[in-house]
Amino acid sequence: MSHISLTYHIIWRTKRSQRTLCEEHERDLYAYILGMCNEKKCHLYRINSMPDHIHMCVEVHPTIAVSEFMQVIKQESSRWLKEHQEWFPHFDAWGNGYAAFTYSVAERPKVIKYIKNQKEHHHKATFREEYEELLREFGIDSATDLFLKD
């Protein structure tokens, strides 16, 4: 038997970073995403959002590639958001791509706390500043990154 722990901090944003995720109904969206995670045998530790992006800490089951997992999450949640247009009237689509960073089990509580405190965090930093800091932390050149380009 194999034992694998694949914990990711995943971030994705709305198309052109439009502020279309309504805080009043974000918990409904989180519940829907949790259901998708459960269907894929993935463990969602924490999810939180701002009007223009979502963060989640999730353990992805080893039988599914993170790219396949995110394709399902983005496609199905986009469909759900459009079905609930009365709650999210300005949502058009998700932006291109996503960012996924891996963390050890020991680092997981730090990631969960970071995601939990997103709303407070964004009083001090923009999404772009936050994302560029993560790229620096992981040694990724932001000039070559296409995530923020729609």
Return averaged pLDDT per consecutive 10 residues of the chain, 150 residues in all: 81 94 96 97 97 96 95 98 96 94 94 93 84 86 67
**Where would I find the H helices in the chain?**
26-39, 66-83, 108-116, 118-121, 127-137
Predicted confidence at residue 145, as pLDDT, reads 65
Token pair, residue 62, equals 């080893």
Predicted confidence at residue 147, as pLDDT, reads 67
Nearest CA-CA partner of 93 in 32, 36, 150: 150
Token pair, residue 92, equals 């058009």
pTM of the model: 0.91
Q: How many whole angstroms separate alpha carbon 94 and alpha carbon 78?
A: 7
Predicted confidence at residue 59, as pLDDT, reads 96
Predicted confidence at residue 142, as pLDDT, reads 72
* Partners of 13 in the β-ladder: 53
Compute how many other C-beta atoms are within 10 angstroms of the C-beta atom of residue 16.
11
Predicted confidence at residue 131, as pLDDT, reads 85
Which domains, from first to last, does the chain contain? 7-144 (3.30.70.1290)
Predicted confidence at residue 46, as pLDDT, reads 98
Q: How many whole angstroms separate alpha carbon 111 and alpha carbon 70?
A: 19
Exposed e or buried b per residue across 102-125, where buried means at least 16 C-beta atoms within 10 angstroms of its C-beta: ebeeeebeebbebbbebeeebeee
